[in-house]
């Protein structure tokens, strides 16, 4: 059975989408950065993917999904830098900043050494399973450095 996709795709040039609120629902799967570089930034509202969210699923693409400021993202699975079956080798990033909430009912899979899942202070991620493929550098967690009073990633 073929899967349909709601895709954010760029033709010759990288694209950026900024969503400030409202509700977006993908009936099946969604791809960010399918053929070229793409950035999807959501700063409010609800984003629901019925099945899989693919970020940078193909070698020709690169994708970034940023969520913050009261925005909610839910999906069955999220694949960063590949698909359910293999790495694309492309750079994929899922970033959850302050006020962003991500709920994944099954798996978050981060493929390859160049893809990342980033969680900043004040953001939340809930998933049934987190698969970093044996690469602890694929997960970036914010920490507070009291001497300098600034957030940074380790």
Q: What is the DSSP letter of 137?
A: G
Contact 64, 34 (CB under 8 A): no
- Cβ neighbours around 2 below 10 Å, total: 5
What Å distances lie between residue 4 and 43, 51, 138, CA to CA?
A: 26, 11, 28
For 24-82, what is each residue's pLDDT tens digit? 999 999 999 988 899 999 999 999 999 999 999 999 889 999 999 999 999 999 999 99
State the pTM of this model. Answer: 0.83
pLDDT at 124 over 50: yes
pLDDT at 65 (0 to 100): 96
Edge-to-edge strands, sheet with 15-19: 15-19, 37-42, 62-67, 92-96, 116-119, 139-145, 150-153
Token pair of 80, please? 């960063």
Alpha-carbon gap, residue 119 to 52, rounded angstroms:
20
């Amino acid at each position: 059975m073929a899967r349909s996709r709601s895709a954010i795709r760029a033709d010759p040039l990288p694209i950026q989408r900024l969503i400030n609120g409202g509700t977006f629902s993908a009936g099946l799967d969604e791809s960010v950065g399918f053929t070229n570089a793409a950035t999807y930034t959501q700063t409010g509202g609800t984003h629901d993917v019925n099945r899989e969210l693919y970020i940078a699923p193909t070698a020709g693409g690169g994708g970034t999904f940023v969520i913050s400021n009261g925005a909610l993202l839910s999906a069955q699975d999220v694949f960063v830098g590949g698909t359910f079956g293999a790495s694309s080798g492309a750079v994929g990033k899922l970033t959850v900043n302050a006020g962003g909430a991500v709920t994944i009912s099954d798996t978050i899979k981060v493929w390859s050494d160049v893809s990342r899942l980033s969680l900043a202070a004040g953001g939340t991620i809930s998933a049934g399973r987190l698969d970093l493929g044996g690469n602890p550098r694929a997960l970036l967690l914010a920490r507070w450095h009291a001497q300098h009073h600034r957030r940074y990633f380790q």
